[in-house]
Structure 1
Amino acid sequence: MLYRIPNAVRHDSKLLRRGNTETYYEYAFSFLATKCVFVIYNSKNLINMVESLKCFWRADKFENESFGKIRKIFIMVTYIWKGYMFVVCVFCIYLCILPLLDIQSKMLILTNFTLCNSRILTCWLANYVWQVFLLWLQGLPTVLGFDLLFIIFTAYVCAAIKLLKIGLTKLNTDDLYKRKHILRNIINQHDFMMNFVNVMNDMFTTIMFLQFYCSLWSLVLTQYMMVADRIYYGSYLFVFALQLYLYAYSGALLQIELQSLSDDIFYVDWYKQESTKLRQSLALMIQRTQNAKVLTAGKIPILNLELFVNTLKNSYSVFTLIWQVASASKDVHG
């Protein structure tokens, strides 16, 4: 697909004009509508997933031994979320203030969908108020709500893994009946957790692929506009990269926790258990944990930090290609 880009850019002079490039870039904001459709279409499944969070073990399952560790997870998630929300809100305020400082600048979002001719001051003000209303009542709640839901699901799974690790340490008892009872609870919780991860992945994988695809091209065009004309698009670049990092970090954290869980199950010395049923159950837990889907983005195997870095690298590579072709085209025609 990338080999077609040079010809497309060379023969399409519209892409080389800053205004049109900016317009193409702003279509990336229409991805918010896709997220709205996703939430509406999967509303029942999302409600069921939220209700199923009650089936996870409580933080005080093993009293103080577990409560402190689970509390640290959710404190970390709270700080990350507050920081992310602060950055996004500041960015939205920036989007609202920028047109007031430079009335010749582009409007906030969806510049091709205006109520009237923006060259007239009264119409410009009407479009501005309409887009501010759209930004704060649809755009911001959609972004924050969707991202918060994804983070909460991931945090609950990570907390469940921590509790399972503590539960595995309780298997070191001489009482065979008690050991079987503990293992039965661990297996049930592990089975529920893995099913939850599978449902979560199946639901989010397509929208995650679209997220990374749209963000890739948004990063490319943002870099193009920063170099071509306006440096203030660096704020767009930062927010897009931050959002991608949030998803990638969540996937990477879940991947690491699942891998460590399979190691902890192995070090319980499952092969030394007297009961054949105990050995088989622990072996199946190891196998299922190692073969877990974790989180994926479409056909991309794992949603992790490596994918985040590759997305940044690819966006810079495509930007460099487009910039070189654009520069060559200007030299030829001018």
Structure 2
Amino acid sequence: MKAYSYLLFFFSSLGAFNGVILALWLFVRKNKQPSDTWLAVLLLLISVRIAKSVAFYFIPTLDKSILQIGLTACCLLGPCLVVYTYTKSKSVTVNNFPSRLFICLVGIVFTIGMIYPYNENLELWQYWLYRGSSYVWFVCLIIASYLYYSRFKEVAGNWKQLLSEQTFITIVGCSLIWLAYFTASYTSYIMGAISFSVVLYLSSIILLKPPSPSSNKIDKYANNKLSKEQAEHYSILLNQLMAKDQLYIDPQLTLPRLAKRLSTSHTVLSQLLNKHYQMNFKQYVNSLRVACAKGLLLEHPNTSIDDIAEQSGFSAPSTFYNAFKQQTGLTPNKFRTLNL
């Protein structure tokens, strides 16, 4: 193998290897969100698909059973992306309807593979499933994009925030990988594998890049002229808004969104919370969610703690447990037992 081939093999397989490592980390890390599980599954599926491509590119006589594994992963890529986007946007548990539908699809694909194996049904796998999975992936990209846009419209006007948003980066990355494979007949089959390596590393750099200290400082102290009268005025409006619309129940509530509902800037709202409530945005919203949860725990003694957490606006049970114990000194179960 020439030096060029060695380099090509290294860079094309690097993404698949690191994709598996990242997926395993997402599976085992503490305080993970439900969407993290689906992102891990998505990374594993892409890694399997990429690994098959690399192996087939350098070993054209590859065993058909290995090709079947790669194409099976390819059939599930698009649907998995939709489930990830849905779970991310709705902040639901893993046992939601799309996830159950995905599990059924996994069963169907594996059943087809057992009844009609690749080495005995070349046309089915090389034409129908190979081409069909590409079109299904494309349709799923459109669905995922719609789900994302319908839920995260509030960041559409802020490109810096948009370009650092996990769901957006995942959808764009999957789109680039799909495009690389779809246009492989005009470029090279190995471009799909290389595109994954590039996308994975660029995404990691963007998501892991710490925020600029200077920009944070400017935002924190900009327009530091909130008077006592203004603070009292906005405080009354904020209390009325929260009492009437219960915005804290939305797990995706952000400081800019709340500021927009309050008809002010996020800088003014941040100053209000820091000065008038002596809390940051996260602490303020969690205090309202914990107060809501305390009422639900007593009103619905037979409702599970996880359901109470979701109804109170928490995106994950672990976040709920931590916030509740921090504010009350008790676990939700202990609080319910002592007050019933």
Instruction: Give the TM-score taking structure 1 as reference length.
Output: 0.29
Instruction: Give the TM-score taking structure 2 as reference length.
Output: 0.29
Higher relative contact order (CA 8 A, sep 6+): 1
